[in-house]
Amino acid sequence: MYFDTHAHYYDESFDPDRDETIKDCYAKGISMILNASSNLESAKACVDLADKYPFMYAAVGFHPHDAKEFNEDSPEQLMKLCKNPKVRAIGEIGLDYYYGHSEKDVQKRVFTKQMELARHLNLPVIIHNRDAHFDCMDIVRRFPEVSGEFHCYSGSAEMAKELLDMGWYLGFGGVVTFKNARKVIEVLEMCPTDRILLETDCPYLSPVPNRGKRNDSRNLLYIAEKIAEIKGMDVKELVLTAAENGRSLFGIKG
Ligand code: NI
């Protein structure tokens, strides 16, 4: 009963074997998958996947890399997609100052606009934050009514504490299995189990022992094993708790 709360199965790297891979993930116990988009085109692709597979859900939004594509029609276009009941979040949205594919001011404006949209639609958000902790927190604090997940959490334990106090969830993926994972392990040690979400971010960020290869939801097992070890928990219990957390945040019943 795994819930992969962050995937990108529309990515072209899955073109040769998408259906086969998704079906095998389900057969191997991945019973829920949420695909997150990066622009309007991938948002539509996420919705199509959610329509095709009963166990798939979608998040729609503009990633900071694609913030420059966001225009005055975008909120309306996203709202239309949100009419589909399988769309459970606005995401992934946020700031990325590491790559800086869009100007900082553009990223901040587009992030803010999408936080407004989430507030208006009463949907959770999925945040991408890379090397932009200060500005990201500044915007998040301005929306006390909006909550959600910091995906692939990379901030400090101190920042995690503030987010947890505000009711946010933290997403953990392949990075926890890497040798240089000291910082994220420190966060996991202090994060209550009822706020942990499991994610692959596939096709990116494959965990050890598959690091460097294309990622998919079947690798969630390695991530769960590592987190269970850190938390001193049974893997099964961790997996069930994390799936329940995801269902609760994204309002998925059954
Ligand atoms: Ni992602």
Give which of 37, 103, 48 is closest to 74, Cα–Cα: 37
Q: Stretch 8-32: mean pLDDT, rounded?
A: 98
pLDDT given at position 177? 97
Distance 36 CA to ligand 1 centre (A): 6
| Separation between Cα atoms, residue 229 and residue 105, nearest integer Å | 41
Q: Is the peptide bond before 209 cis (omega within 30 degrees of 0)?
A: yes
Distance 13 CA to ligand 1 centre (A): 14
Q: Stretch 94-112: mean pLDDT, rounded?
A: 95
pLDDT given at position 132? 96
Helix 235-250 / helix 220-231 crossing angle, nearest 10 deg: 110
Domains of the chain (ranges; CATH) run 2-250 (3.20.20.140)
Give which of 124, 60, 137 is closest to 95, Cα–Cα: 137
User: 212 pLDDT exceeds 90?
Assistant: yes
Contact assessment for residue 241 and residue 250, using Cβ atoms and an 8 Å cutoff: no
The larger pLDDT score, comparing residue 59 to residue 100, is at: 59
Q: Stretch 197-224: mean pLDDT, rounded?
A: 97
Give which of 171, 170, 116 is closest to 146, Cα–Cα: 116
Distance 230 CA to ligand 1 centre (A): 24
* 3-class secondary structure, 216: coil
* 3-class secondary structure, 104: helix
Distance 202 CA to ligand 1 centre (A): 7
| Separation between Cα atoms, residue 53 and residue 197, nearest integer Å | 21
The total of other beta-carbon atoms located within 10 Å of residue 167's CB is 11
User: 107 pLDDT exceeds 80?
Assistant: yes
Mean pLDDT of the chain, nearest integer: 97
Confidence of residue 83 (pLDDT cuts 50, 70, 90): very high
Distance 178 CA to ligand 1 centre (A): 18
DSSP annotation of 202: B
pLDDT given at position 113? 98
Tokens representing residue 199 in the block: 């994610």
> Which residue bears the tokens 């420190």?
186
| Separation between Cα atoms, residue 2 and residue 8, nearest integer Å | 16
Distance 163 CA to ligand 1 centre (A): 20
Contact assessment for residue 90 and residue 78, using Cβ atoms and an 8 Å cutoff: yes
Confidence of residue 225 (pLDDT cuts 50, 70, 90): very high
Q: Tens digit of pLDDT for each residue in 40-69?
A: 999 999 999 999 999 999 999 999 999 999
pLDDT given at position 12? 98
Which distant-in-sequence residues (6+ apart) come within 8 Å of 135 by Cβ? Answer: 95, 97, 104, 108
pLDDT given at position 100? 85
Q: Flag whether the pTM goes above 0.85.
A: yes
User: 242 pLDDT exceeds 80?
Assistant: yes
Phi then psi for residue 146, to 5 deg, are -100, 135
User: 254 pLDDT exceeds 80?
Assistant: no
Which distant-in-sequence residues (6+ apart) come within 8 Å of 243 by Cβ? Answer: 1, 2, 3, 31, 32, 198
Q: Stretch 201-210: mean pLDDT, rounded?
A: 97
Distance 6 CA to ligand 1 centre (A): 6
For the chain, where are the alpha helices, taking DSSP H only?
18-27, 40-52, 74-81, 104-121, 133-141, 157-165, 182-190, 220-231, 235-250
Contact assessment for residue 222 and residue 177, using Cβ atoms and an 8 Å cutoff: yes
